[in-house]
Every structure is written in C-alpha cells, then in structure tokens.
Structure 1
Amino acid sequence: MSQTHTIEALDVASANVIATGLHKKTKRVVNGLGSLMGSKEMVDLTNESINTTNVNLPSSLSSSSSTTTNRKHISEQPWTLHNWHEHINWLNFVLVVLIPAIGWYLALSGLIPLKLKTALFSVFYYALGGASITAGYHRLWSHRSYSARWPLRLFFALFGSASVQGSAKWWGHSHRIHHRYTDTNRDPYDARKGLWYSHMGWMLLKPNPKYKARADIQDLNDDWIVRFQHRHYIPLMLIFAFILPSIIAGRYFNDYLGGFLYAGIIRVFCIQQATFCINSMAHYIGAQPFDDKRTPRDNWLTALVTFGEGYHNFHHEFPSDYRNAIKWYQYDPTKVIIYLTSLVGLSYDLKTFSSLAIKQALVQQEQKKLDKKKNALTWGPSLTNLPKWDKAQFIEESKTNGNLIVISGIVHDVKGYITEHPGGQLLIKSALGKDATSAFNGGVYRHSNAATNVLANLRVAVIVESEESALKFAARRGEHYYDEKKTI
C-alpha cells in the first residue's frame, strides 16, 4: 500500500507577521514628528500599537465592519454641517493647503516680487530636494534598489527634509505599505477612491484606523542616518526647507523674503504636488505595457516633473530595479544620478531585473491585449462543439444537403458562399459532396489565411476518421485543442 504524502502549506497568518516585521525586536525610534505629513490613524510605526491579529489574513483587506467600537469612525459617517470639521486632518491642511495658499497670494499679488537670481536658485533647490526624494526616500530607502555610503545618505536625509514630506522612515514605511496593498483599503493612497483622494485627499481626510497597516522597516531602523533624521525631523525640516534658502537668497541676492517665499514655500508646494502626481496621475493616465491587473501606469508627463518617477507600471512590476525607465528616450534623471554616484563610489550594488523577466512581462501583456481583441471577434464554431460524423454519415447527409464539402476532416456547408467564391461558382460546385482537401491546400489553389477564416464560419461537423487532420488544419489559424489521445 503506497504511503500518502502531504506538502505542508505555508501558514498565511505567520507569513503576514514576517512581512510586517512583528517577529523582530526592532529599535524603537522616538517619533520626533517624523510622520508629520502622515496620519497616525493610518500608519503607526511602533510595535506596541499594533498586534498580530490586525495583519492576520488577506480577507481582512476588504473588511468593512468595525469590531473595536460601536461608534463608527468619522470616515464612515456622512458629511454634515455638524461634523464636517471632524473629517479633516487640520495639521496637514495647514501644511499642504493654507501655507501654500498664503505663499501664492504673496507671490501673485506682487507684495514680494520674484527676482531672476532667486528664481534660478529656487529651481536649483527644487532639484536638490526632488532628487533626495526620488533617489533617496524612494529608490534607496523604500525599495533598497541600491546601496549608498553615508555621505550620500546624509545628503538625501537633509535635503529630503527640505521637501517637507515627512521623515525617510515614515515615507518609506508608508510607501512599502502602498506596494504591499496596492488598490486595497489598506493602500494609504488607494487609487480606487478617485483621482482627488489619491492625489491629496488621503492627506487631508482622516483615514479609517481599522485599515491601519504595517510593513517591515527593520533596515530603516538599523540606519543611523534614518534614525537621526526621524528624531530631529522638525528642526531639520525648518532649517533646510525655509531658513537655509532664505539665508542663501539674502546673503547672495539680497532677497531674504524672496528666498523664504519662492525657494521655500512655493518650492515646497511644487515638489509636494509633483510627488502627489505619482499617487494620482500615474495610477490613472498612461499605458500599461507590463501588467494591467492593478492601476499603475506609465506616464511621461508625470516623469518630467518627478525626475523620472512617472513610469509607474514598470516600477510596480519591478520595484527593486534602480531604474524607472529602460528605453533610451524615456526621461529618468534619477537613474542617471544613481549611476553617476556609483562611478565615484558613493553608491553601489545597483539592482536591475533581468532583461528576460522584463521581456516576458511585455510579451505577456501584449498577448493579453491581443487575446482581448481576438475574443471580441467571431471565429466560427469550435471543433469541440461540432457533431462527429463518420464517412458513411457524410455521404448520407450529402444526399439531402447538396452543399456539403469536406476540407481537412471538417464538413462545411457552402450554400451561402457559392456565389461569393473568388475562384468562381463552377469550381466550388465541382467539389460539392466531395473531399476537397488537396485542391484547397495547393492542388488547385493554395488558399490564403483569409480563406481559412471564411471557411471556419461554414463548419457543420467533423469527420471521425480524420480528426487528426482537422486538428492540424485548425491549428494553422491559432486553434488548439488538447487531449491525451489528441482527439477533439
């Protein structure tokens, strides 16, 4: 008697605990308001505030019932004149809406005029902060797509603070959650909730805490620069986002207020909005050449304002690749920056996915699109749905229906096609009631693929003795029928 063997299944609950990092004894980092641009209700970084039951099973992703309190969270309540203010994250509203609005008023009203040198400096300072977000916060710390020496990491931490997008620890944690739970309720900037929500709504509205999620950030906790920046985020943010550009503009251009406004407030607004476009526009507009199961898309326009982050469909398929764009004409200065820093030893271990894996994804997606187009057309009855006749039955059927012809083991009724036959009626009439396989396949004419397609719509039966010929003939036009005995 043979012994029955069972392959042990991976315990999903335990695997989720590993994915969240709850199995590790991690260093606790004092918050220091490093998650200033986030929401404690959506993302909490401490072990104490989340238990394993919260990350137990994938089914919990779509949970819609509250088990922690009888009172619905404000996000589950309709907006009214009495509770509208409870829906809003007021700290983020001040940082993302109110302060920029004041800044734009001062700029557009002409109260603080823009000087050319200050404008050029603002663009340069924008580039420093933008590169620190894309090359540092995103590709280095969120995805570990390469490694960097401490001087480069320190640069990214300092000028990443200048972008006022939270600490690298909070940013990286939130972004890993986004990749883990893309297009689910636990996705911090869930694109399914609409363009406005994925752009700014997720920051301005209080999220439902029952969808709180966690990702493993042990590597971020182990980086002393990340810990330092997280602890001291507020002073670093104030210094590098506002004080330093004001001092530089004042010292060299005699324009302290212009430096504060244009290289500070306006610049921060622009870089925040550019980053938000990744969460919104890059999930709504553009092509999906690698996969279309989720919302990310390749958007060249977004890439222009985000240093190459717009090729989001590629990025979500190959997140640990230090590149976001792989074609020579695609704009991705961030990958160039990373590559150049590797030449001088500031970065190393640049990761790329194999060209085979990338080509496979492209071909699979192209095939999926072709299959969709193909399925929208009528290709004639399948051989498996046709009745099976033996030769004797065909002869009998031909006595009552004089329009039957056999070609490659398939019976066709050509009654409505006789007058349309390009070779003339006389030729096709000469084949009625007969096997015209040899004539069709080159004996008289070597018929085109189009002729084969026309013929497929005239099928009425399959000759049992010629099933193998029928299968081969159907395979010529892309039909494939699999059976152990190679029968229909």
Structure 2
Amino acid sequence: MLQSSSTDTITEQPGNDEIHFEKLIAPQAAPRKHEIIKFNLLTFAYGHLAALYGLYLACTVATWQTIIFHCIIYALAFFGTTAGAHRLWTHKAYKAKMPLQIILMVMNTFAFQNTIVHWVRDHRMHHKYSDTDADPHNPTRGVFYSHMGWLLVRKNEEVKKRGKFIDMSDIYSNPVLMFQKKYAIPFVGTVCFLLPTVIPMYFFGESLNTAWHVTILRYISLIHATLLINSVAHLYGTKPYDKTIKPTQNLLVSLIAFGEGFHNYHHVFPWDYRTAELGNNALNSTTWFIDFFAWLGWAYDLKTASDDLVQSRLKRTGDGNNTWGVKML
C-alpha cells in the first residue's frame, strides 16, 4: 500500500482505450538492473537510525503523555490511509461527504506516504497489474523488494509506461486532494513532523531531542506496518477465495494494519468497503471507523459483496481454507 517517494513522475495521457500493451501474466518479473535512488536510501537510513534512538528515548525519558499522543496520531494516520486513500479514494468502495473527506485527508497527511494522488495511482496500478513488473511493489521480486526495496530504486519501466493510462479523473477533480497535492511540502511538513514535535515540547515538557526522535519512531513504525500489506500479505497465508493469485489472508497483518490483511478477499472483491467478509470485523477496525461515520451520515453508499457471491467464489476458486486458516469441510 505504501507509495513510492521516487522522483520519477508519471503524466496521465488521454486515449487509454486505444493503447494495447503486451499482457503480463502473474507472477512475472523480467530481469532488470535496479537504479538506486541515493536520496531515498539516505533518508530511510537516517529515519531508521533515528527511530531506534526514538525507541530508546520512548522507553527511558519520554513522558506517558507523549507516548499516548503519538499512539493517537498513529491511529489517525492509519485510518487516513486505510479508510481514506485506500477504501474511499482508490477503490471508491463508499462515498464521503465533504467534512469526512477533509478529516481523512488531514489524517492521511499524518502518515506521509506521498500525496493521496500518488498513492491512488500506484495502488490502482497494483490491482490492475498485481504481481507483475507493472505492479509498483511487485512481490514476485521477493519480500524485501515488496516491503521496502521498491522505495529505494527507480520505478520499473512497465510502471512508468502503463501508469500514464490509469484513469485518475475522479482524483484530479477532487478539490480536497488537489489541496493536499498543491501544498504538499509545507502541509506534510507541518502536520506530520512539525506539530507532533512542537506539541509535546510545549504541553508535556519534552526536550527537542526527545520530541523529534519519538516523532520519527511513530512515522517509521507506521510505514513498516503499512508495508506488511505489500509484502507479507502477498507471500504468507491462506487463499480461500482465489488460490491462483499471490495475495493471502494473514491474520497478523490484519491485526497490525487495522483490518487490511484479508488480502486474498480484497483482491477478489476490491470494491467491498470492508475488504473482508462481515464475520471478520473483529480484526477490521477500519470497517468500524467507516461504519461509525455511516451512522453519522457522513459516509454512504457502502458497497459490499453479497454472502451468496462470496460463498460461490470461495467454493469455486478457493484453496479450501476459511479466512482464519482453518480447513473447511
């Protein structure tokens, strides 16, 4: 789910219906020479070292108020990604009124996984060309590449070539998302890093050193929790709905990633706002979040796959396991 911070750009072009590319059959990964993005490598190296120091400070000198504060931001950022960038804007699995859209955009900014515009394009690519070289984080290249390696190298040529023709008209016409894109640098810098550092200093008496490094700890931890969906949930787990694809059901990922680990289901029914059948809401906090705003009337037109459709697909193409990893009769 996390989107590349590569400096490679993709410019959308019209007439995509007239473009015919060679069909990529998953799993597929052609030989290629990876070009490392030195800036990304250095940035992530610093981020991880700073996060380790932040973990030490969180366990030794940080106040409990600061820890709780960052736990709250962590949850908000995750919901901004799962309920916002993913289920709302990428898959249009439900609709949101303007107040909820603004809230989700701000929450997503806490996560800083590039702008929502870039996030959506890459994730639509991921679903259209899953497990091939046109998938930005192609898991066929292994767990490290799909987890973080893809962020450290230039985009594959297949991603750049085919990404020009992904329909993004709904995203470019959304003023909330265009605001985030237009003011990305000052807005992200303020929301994701500056305010979470200054607030603990002013209200909780933290030093700049502690406040900053705990902020980086929260940021890096959230990135890795999100990346598990790209890597672990494409490599390890059961396939109750479609045994021919790489995405899996992984309960640990669902627990860590706010319900996003029911990935075999999600790739079969990407338009279902739950990303899992209803019985698995116990590990699907993002669905609770959306349901709450549906109760308020701010989320509506929630799309779901019918029980009959789910059961039919499970019996027709599944591997015989249910989503909890138990062999079915």
Fold match by TM threshold 0.5:
yes
Shift in Å, 1:90: 2.2
The residue that corresponds to 1:261 in the other structure is 213
Greater C-alpha Rg: 1
**Residue in 1 that maps onto 2:306:** 354
Going from structure 1 to structure 2, the CA distance change for 1:194 and 1:64 (only over 3 Å counts) comes to closer
Q: For residue 265 of structure 1, what is the amino acid of its counterpart?
A: I
Q: Report if aligned partners of 1:39, 1:203 keep a CA contact under 8 Å in 2.
A: yes
**2:199 corresponds to which residue?**
248
Shift of 1:115: 1.8
Is residue 227 of structure 1 aligned with residue 178 of structure 2? yes
Q: Does 1:137 align with 2:85?
A: yes
2:5 corresponds to which letter in structure 1?
Answer: G
Mind listing any 5+ residue stretches in structure 1 that lack a counterpart?
1-34, 66-74, 78-85, 371-488
Checking the alignment, whether the CA contact within 8 Å between 1:246 and 1:256 is kept in structure 2 is no
Residue by residue over 1:99-130, the C-alpha shift from the partner in whole angstroms, topping out at 9 and shown as x without a partner, is 23123235437898322111111111100101
Tell me the distance in 2 between the aligned counterparts of 1:180 and 1:198: 16
Distance 1:64 1:180 in 2: 15
Matching residue within 93, 96, 105 for 2:53: 105
Q: 1:286 aligns with which of 237, 243, 250?
A: 237
- Select which of 1, 7, 10 maps to 1:44: 10
Corresponding residue of 1:238:
189
RCO (CA 8 Å, sep 6+): is it higher in 1 or 2?
Answer: 2
**C-alpha spacing 1:54/1:203, structure 2 compared with 1 (3 Å):** farther
What letter matches 1:76 in structure 2? R
Question: Structure 1 residues 201 and 272, CA, compared in 2 at 3 Å: closer, same or farther?
Answer: same
Q: Distance in 2 between matches of 1:134 and 1:256?
A: 32
Which of 104, 121, 127 is the matching residue for 1:156? 104
Give the conservation status (yes or no) of the 8 Å contact 2:84–2:108: yes
Pair 1:344-2:296 in alignment: yes
Of residues 198, 203, 209, the one that matches 2:151 is 203
Residue 63 of structure 2, aligned match among 112, 115, 136: 115
Q: How does 1:26-105 map to 2 (within 5 A)?
A: 37-41=4-8, 44-47=10-13, 55-59=19-23, 76-77=32-33, 87-105=35-53
> 1:95 deviation in Å?
3.5
Question: Kindly, what percent of the aligned residue pairs are identical?
Answer: 30
Partners of 2:114 and 2:120 lie apart in 1 by: 10
Offset of 1:345 from its aligned partner?
A: 1.6
Change (3 A) 1:328 1:181: closer
Contact 1:162 1:241 in 2 (8 A): yes
CA contact (8 A) 2:237 2:248 kept: yes
Secondary structure of the 1:302 match is helix
Q: Which residue of 2 aligns with 1:277?
A: 228
Q: Counterpart of 1:157 in structure 2: which amino acid?
A: M
User: Which segment is superposed worse, 172-181 or 346-355?
Assistant: 346-355
SS at match of 1:87: coil
Q: Distance in 2 between matches of 1:252 and 1:314?
A: 44
Q: Could you tell me whether the CA contact under 8 Å between 1:195 and 1:280 is conserved in 2? A: yes
Partner in structure 1 of residue 317 of structure 2: 365
On the 8 A contact 2:232/2:253 being kept in 1, the answer is yes
Secondary structure at the counterpart of residue 313 of structure 2: helix
Q: Give the aligned partner of residue 461 of structure 1.
A: none
The AA in structure 2 aligned to 1:45 is T
The whole-number CA distance in structure 1 between the counterparts of 2:91 and 2:29 is 30
Residue 40 to residue 220, structure 1, CA distance change in 2 (3 Å): same
Task: Looking at secondary structure, tell me which structure has more helix per residue.
Answer: 2
Could you tell me how far apart the structure 2 residues matched to 1:211 and 1:128 are? 30
Letter matched to residue 199 of structure 2: I
Against the structure 1 CA distance between its residues 234 and 256, is the aligned structure 2 distance closer, same or farther, given a 3 Å change threshold?
farther
Does 2:194 align with 1:194? Answer: no
In 1, distance between residues paired with 2:303 and 2:60? 46
- Are the counterparts in 2 of residues 92 and 203 from structure 1 also a CA contact under 8 Å? yes
Aligned to 1:181: 129
Q: Which has the higher mean CA deviation after the structures are superposed, 198-207 or 94-103? A: 94-103
Alpha carbons 2:172, 2:178 under 8 Å: kept: yes
> 1:356 & 1:97 partners in 2: Cα distance?
48
Distance change in 2, residues 1:293/1:330 (3 Å): farther
Please name the residue that 1:484 is paired with: none
Distance change >3 Å, CA 343–CA 47, structure 1 → 2: same
Tell me the CA shift for residue 251 of structure 1: 2.5
Aligned-residue offset at 1:360 = 0.5
How many matched pairs? Answer: 314
Alignment match of 2:266 (pick from 315, 318, 325): 315
Letter in 2 for 1:99: G
Q: Secondary structure at the match of 1:207?
A: coil
Q: Could you list the per-position Cα deviations for residues 328-348 of structure 1 after superposition, in whole angstroms to 9, with x for gaps in the alignment? A: 564001011001101112111
CA distance in 2, matches of 1:271, 1:243: 17
Tell me the equivalent position of 2:324.
none
2:305, 2:22 → 1: CA distance? Answer: 27
Query: Structure 1's 256 and 325: CA in aligned 2 closer, same or farther, altered over 3 A?
Result: farther
Question: What is the alpha-carbon distance in structure 2 between the residues aligned to residue 145 and residue 315 of structure 1?
Answer: 11
